[in-house]
């Protein structure tokens, strides 16, 4: 735990079957990533590139991530999920904080 405190890492222990509480993280971040991948796929196929499940992620996954992994988007998703800053009006009340929350 000291390792986490020194590096300002937030350590959470979640009760089992609680991942549904954090759906906004999926919607906010991963949905945007999926849309960016879909747009890149459309551009590639329009340009005549052969794209399949073996080539799309290695070729365009990093580019799609750089488009979508913006700090504002990630911070908004954490805020909507009630994780940072902590919001007990969400199902966050079931989560036990081990380290202090340090939101940037």
Contact (Cβ atoms closer than 8 angstroms) between residue 89 and residue 15: no
Quick one: pLDDT at residue 99? Answer: 39
Taking the whole predicted model, whether its pTM rises above 0.95 is answered as no
Q: In this structure, is residue 86 part of a structural domain?
A: yes
Q: In this structure, is residue 56 part of a structural domain?
A: yes
Q: Is the pLDDT of residue 52 over 80?
A: no
Q: In this structure, is residue 102 part of a structural domain?
A: no
Higher pLDDT, 87 or 52: 52
Quick one: pLDDT at residue 11? Answer: 74
Quick one: pLDDT at residue 91? Answer: 53
Segments forming the whole domain that contains residue 33: 2-14+25-97
* Sign (positive or negative) of CA dihedral 103, 24, 96, 90: positive
Q: In this structure, is residue 77 part of a structural domain?
A: yes
pLDDT digits 0-9 by tens, 4-17: 888 888 777 767 77
């Amino acid at each position: 735990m000291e390792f986490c405190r020194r590096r300002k890492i937030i350590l959470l222990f979640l009760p089992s079957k609680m991942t549904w509480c954090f759906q906004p993280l999926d919607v906010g971040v991963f949905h945007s990533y999926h849309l960016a991948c879909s747009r890149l796929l459309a551009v590639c196929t329009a340009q005549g590139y052969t794209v399949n499940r073996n080539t799309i992620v290695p070729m365009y996954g990093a580019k799609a991530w750089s488009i979508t992994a913006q700090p504002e988007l990630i911070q908004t998703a954490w805020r909507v999920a009630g994780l940072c800053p902590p919001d007990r009006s969400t199902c966050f009340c079931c989560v036990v904080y081990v380290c202090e929350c340090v939101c940037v």
